Amino acid sequence: MAYHTIAYFAVFLPVVILLYQIVPKKFRFAVIIAADYVFFWLFSGKLIVYLICATLLTYFIGIWIERTALKNDGDKKNVTKKKRRILAFGIAANLLVLVVLKYTNFFGQSLSDLLHLFNVDWTFGGVKFMVPIGLSFYTLEIISYITDVYRGTLKAEHNIAKVALYLSFFPQIMEGPIARFHETADTLYAGESVKFDNLKFGYQRILWGLFKKIVIADRIYPTVNYIFNDYADKDGSIILFGVVCYVAQLYLEFSGCMDIVIGSGQIFGVKLPENFRQPFLAKSAGEFWRRWHITLGTFFKDYIFYPVSLAGPVKNAAKKVKKRFGRNVSKFVAPTAALFCVWACNGLWHGANWTFIFYGMYYFVLIFIENITEEPVKKLAEKLHINRESIGYKIFRTAKLFIIVLVGELFFRANSLKDGFAMLAGIFGNFHISALFSNIHRLKMDRLDLIVAGAGIIIVTVVGALKEKNIDIRQKVSGWVVPARWIFWYAAIMLVVIFGAYGSGYTAVDLIYAGY
């Protein structure tokens, strides 16, 4: 019952809405919690015990930190140390579960490979773990909550139902977005009635997400899977086409699922944070990541980047560099150390594979280069009288960013680092555009698929460009006369029904980010 299935948006969600609306207001939070746990159980069965234990631990850790902070023994440093130990315990306990379940085999196999290089005869046999849905997402939400309580920016919640609602809200449990406690808990617990506008706009956004996911992304998937799994004898143009298709698939699926999730939350009056903001209109790799998976980026900024930047060892290192090389060099020490930690964590968070670690380091290097060359490039452009706001420069900047993204996503999707480098070499070493055109019909998409996917991408691009100019299509349509509105939305529904990549001839496609 994934978000893009009929079972979710046409059965499960309406049943939850109906039950939520008919029970007394003071019990509505219980309907949401029941829906959360039923949804979780349908995917993970008895592994729901992980979510329950995580909720209980989060609840008690928050109260423990708060009570420790309220103790007045005259020694503030001692109180701070105790709070820090409790926080460290809470974070370590949750990360331990995440690391054991998701990374044991990766670290074990990596150690085995390393020992073999030194002729040590030890082979890691592997361990099979069952991993519950949403583990990576709700672990970060737990860290966010207990850290905010530690910092004093959030009061510990004494109502365990609110903590449960925050960590398990069914629309976001599988793929995020990674919300903060104040963004969802109080609203969910309040039990306000479902308003017609929220229901209307919520389902409209769900429809838009379904269009992106099942009309475009799922239609592209067979081509992506075919090329990435069998690239060895393919021309470079075909490999490049596969990478372009994967970038489109990843963005349209993930952003489409976020539309479904945010629309589902809107129905209950919950304003979930946006996770995408037209990333391909960014001016740099750094800005791209401020527009892509926004909530993950803000989490890393608030809970890794700033703490590392302000850490004592990093400050001391910056002072030593300043004495030896001067302020112009030392000013990059703290941001670079923090940036490295952010991208190391970003890569590992996405999965237990060296391709993800490479992906993280790839963006670390690129953003580091952008940071240290920003001022020199600006001065050079002024010296050469280059207008950085001209159409030509904007085209160059967009093309450069697209190439950066393509290379990054190639390694992100590649089955191994070896495959990633082989595919990259294939693109540059054996590229004939004629090979793509002569073999396009053999790449798991027929002419109709190409037309539908292409037209869909154009529609999404236009809508994104309008949104960048603060033009909201849904709001515009809502101002039309009633017959025109109904014709528009029925046509949109039929578009998804008729052109959706499902049923006979199509393979069901799992959610990409549900595996992270």
Q: Assign 475 a pLDDT band (cuts: 50, 70, 90).
A: confident
The residue-averaged pLDDT of 453-476 equals 93
Whether pLDDT at 505 is above 70 = no
Low-confidence winner among 22-31, 283-292, 357-366, 467-476 (lowest mean pLDDT)? 467-476
Task: Please state, for a pLDDT cut of 70, what percent of the chain lies above it.
Answer: 98
HEC string of 372-399 equals HHHHHHHHHHHHCCCCCCCHHHHHHHHH
pLDDT: is 95 or 475 the higher one? 95
**What's residue 268's pLDDT?**
96
Q: Residue 355's closest CA among 414, 403, 404, 296?
A: 414
**What's residue 258's pLDDT?**
96
- Looking at the DSSP assignment, which residues form a beta bridge with residue 292? 276
Helices (H), 211-353: 218-229, 236-267, 285-291, 294-300, 306-309, 312-325, 327-330, 333-350
**What's residue 511's pLDDT?**
78
> Do the Cβ atoms of 245 and 456 come closer than 8 Å?
no
The residue-averaged pLDDT of 222-241 equals 94
**What's residue 368's pLDDT?**
94
Per-residue model confidence as pLDDT tens digits over 61-110? 999 999 998 876 667 788 889 999 999 999 999 999 999 999 999 999 88
Whether pLDDT at 514 is above 80 = no
**What's residue 86's pLDDT?**
96
The Cα 159–Cα 426 span in angstroms is 58
| Three-state DSSP state, 276 | strand
**What's residue 323's pLDDT?**
87
Q: Torsions phi, psi of 269, nearest 5?
A: 80, 10
| Three-state DSSP state, 292 | strand
Q: Which residue carries 């590649």 as its tokens?
A: 414
Domain regions of the chain by residue span: 6-193, 194-276+414-516, 279-412
Q: Torsions phi, psi of 276, nearest 5?
A: -140, 145
Q: What 8-state DSSP symbol labels residue 332?
A: T
Per-residue model confidence as pLDDT tens digits over 288-338? 999 999 999 999 999 999 999 999 999 999 888 888 888 888 888 999 999
Q: Please count the helices (runs of H) and the strands (runs of E) in the chain.
A: 24, 0
Per-residue model confidence as pLDDT tens digits over 161-199? 999 999 999 999 999 999 999 999 999 999 999 999 999
pTM of the model: 0.94
The Cα 398–Cα 393 span in angstroms is 9
Q: Torsions phi, psi of 415, nearest 5?
A: -70, -25
Whether pLDDT at 1 is above 80 = no
Q: Which residue carries 């074990």 as its tokens?
A: 108
**What's residue 430's pLDDT?**
86
The Cα 472–Cα 470 span in angstroms is 6
> Do the Cβ atoms of 213 and 256 come closer than 8 Å?
yes
Radius of gyration of the chain, Cα coordinates, nearest whole angstrom: 25
Q: Residue 90's closest CA among 130, 111, 63, 129?
A: 63
The residue-averaged pLDDT of 21-27 equals 95
Whether pLDDT at 474 is above 90 = no
pLDDT: is 446 or 96 the higher one? 96
Cis previous bond, 177, omega within 30: yes
Q: What 8-state DSSP symbol labels residue 282?
A: -
Whether pLDDT at 132 is above 70 = yes
HEC string of 142-178 equals HHHHHHHHHHCCCCCCCCHHHHHHHHHCCCCCCCCCC
Angle at 102 (CA atoms; ends 100, 104), nearest 5 degrees: 50
Angle at 303 (CA atoms; ends 297, 308), nearest 5 degrees: 105
Q: Which helix (H) or strand (E) holds 305?
A: none
Can you read off the two tokens belonging to residue 78? Answer: 């001692």
Q: Torsions phi, psi of 233, nearest 5?
A: -100, 15
**What's residue 516's pLDDT?**
62
Q: Assign 150 a pLDDT band (cuts: 50, 70, 90).
A: very high
Q: Residue 303's closest CA among 444, 120, 198, 150?
A: 150
> Do the Cβ atoms of 513 and 173 come closer than 8 Å?
no
Cα of 106 vs its chain's centroid, Å: 21
Per-residue model confidence as pLDDT tens digits over 4-16? 888 999 999 999 9
The Cα 297–Cα 275 span in angstroms is 9
**What's residue 73's pLDDT?**
61
Per-residue model confidence as pLDDT tens digits over 399-413? 999 999 999 999 999
| Three-state DSSP state, 133 | coil
pLDDT: is 423 or 392 the higher one? 423
Q: Which residue carries 């990576």 as its tokens?
A: 136
Q: Which residue carries 């993280």 as its tokens?
A: 360
The residue-averaged pLDDT of 453-459 equals 95
**What's residue 42's pLDDT?**
94
Per-residue model confidence as pLDDT tens digits over 358-388? 999 999 999 999 998 988 888 888 888 888 8
509: number of CA atoms within 13 Å, CB side?
27
**What's residue 507's pLDDT?**
66
